[in-house]
Structure 1
Amino acid sequence: MKDSAPVQKEKQISRWITVVSIAVPLVVVILFGVRLPGVEPLGFLPPVYASINGLTAVLLIAALWAIKNGNRGLHQKLMTTCIALSLLFLMMYVAYHMTSDSTSYGGTGVLRYVYFFILISHIFLSIVVIPLVLRTYAKAYLKDFEGHRKIARITFPVWLYVAVSGVVVYLMISPYYPY
């Protein structure tokens, strides 16, 4: 039977994860409807935040390599960096959309269907990955490494897909940006 203090801490963290997992997508949707008056469009941001997605993907793979090779310290630093990069991405993404109109994909034929499949799955999984990442990180924080490993087997491929598909979406839509 678990000691009640760690169980209480886990419940408290779980509540916060639930709140954050609901609040972040809602705030993003709300902010998408806000235009900052008098602010020039931040058209330089899409390649920057796409690069952040690419770097996140590389660091996720490096973190997997680190833990597979027994380097828990490096793994922890890399994963913390991935979370920080994801937050930075989110802030830039919202800032861009608060200053710029959405860009329509101009491709045709099969590529149009491929683009929208990747975009829709990217958006859906970017919402799903929030609680996965937070729960995985919390398990490690609480030193429940067995639980951490178990959920990380789900979190890792979802997060990697979100990071890589973000780059692919950018590369596919970048010819249509007005800047």
Structure 2
Amino acid sequence: MGIFDFLKNTDNSKPSRKHILFSNTALEIIGTFVEKNGFQLHSKKIETYFTNIIWRKEEQYIKITASDFPTDYPYNYDIILGKGNCDDFFESEWDSISISDIQRMSEPNKNHNGYDFPKKSELKKSLEKAKSDLSEFGNGFLNGNPELFYKARILTNGENKPEKIIKKDENGKVIVELLPYNVIKKSN
């Protein structure tokens, strides 16, 4: 086996034991917590190097993403807060932020950049810390008060984000949608 064998055209969709353990523990620790706040499991995707779990409550969603793909070093996971369509990549990319973005806004003198992908022995401790951070910094979002979420999203996404998204609806008709954070920003 060579050092770059992971780059060969192989099927990476088969879940690894590491990501199965990570996702099951995340569902137990984070999932139980967010479900107590009215969110429901929307989707779960576990692959060889990636985990993606989404919970929804009306237009809000919470997503855990994890990667230990060899070229993604340092391996990490993060908690993403978003509003809108979590299944549409472009919309979710524009309308979501990491819990780290709220942490950096709330505590500018500290370094917040997500979480290191934990070793098996540190998995529960790491996810408990992430749950604690979500409870502290995402409390308003969890309880239907997105004010801090919007402020962090404007600071994070800044002026570089488009004011509108052009996309097709389910019938193929082109629609133009004004993004909510631009509406809020313009009204201030």
TM over 0.5: no
More helix by share: 1
More strand by share: 2
Classify the TM-score, shorter chain: under 0.3
